Structure 1
Amino acid sequence: MKEIVAIVRINMMNKTKKALTEIGVDAFFAQEAFGRGKGLVSSHLLQGAKKGYEEAIELLGEKDRLYTKRMVTVVVPDEQVEDVVEALIAANKTGKPGDGKIFVCPVPEAVRVRTGEIGEKAIV
């Protein structure tokens, strides 16, 4: 089993939900998230700030804004991982900075509270 966590643009959530349900993934979580990518900070400003230049430090402070995103989490059997990742990319790729990130993490165990089912039985 794998947990797939995708950080996506807030306005892409409907496309993301549709893409997941079209490949048979109906159970997932979505929550509001805040963050920013490294692309929003100039490397020249970072270098200047590291050297202690006050102007660079002040300008860097203006780039501290966190952007609203959605974090989508789904746990699937190993054989579904590639389909889920491809669907997430297809639904969210614009080719511009801020398209998001996808993380795939191992899940050693899962338990359905209601029935006590363990492993993949708990997620399907």
Structure 2
Amino acid sequence: MERSTTELTGRLAEYARLAEHVRAIQDGIDEIRGTGYSDDGLVTAVVGGRGELVELELDPRIYRDRNAIELATKIVAAVHDAAEDAGREATTFAKKLAPQAKQGDDFDPMFDPALQLIEKARSEEGRR
């Protein structure tokens, strides 16, 4: 069966809307920043919404103790805390875009909103 021009135009518009929504999700995730600190406050880490380390600040007082293992432990802990903070922010952002029924403990802020949009488009396609 040959598809009408109107049907194809409608489908292309729906795909364009879907792509725009996915780009908005990506942009929102890219703007997220999470911050973490070492217990003594001498290490500050900032992590982006995709989990990448974007900033690491070492207070000059950190060099008074020349224990490399302790310094590495402080850095890892601060980065880990920053990543958790960014993850919470990403989840909060993404949940605003996802239907309430689709949110749970296994909610993935990076992919679930886009996957839910695709599933919605597929179900609407099935009704046609």
More strand by share: 1
More helix by share: 2
Q: TM-score with structure 1 length normalisation?
A: 0.27
Q: TM-score with structure 2 length normalisation?
A: 0.26
Say which one has the larger Rg: 2
Greater relative contact order, per chain length (Cα 8 Å cut-off, separation 6+): 1
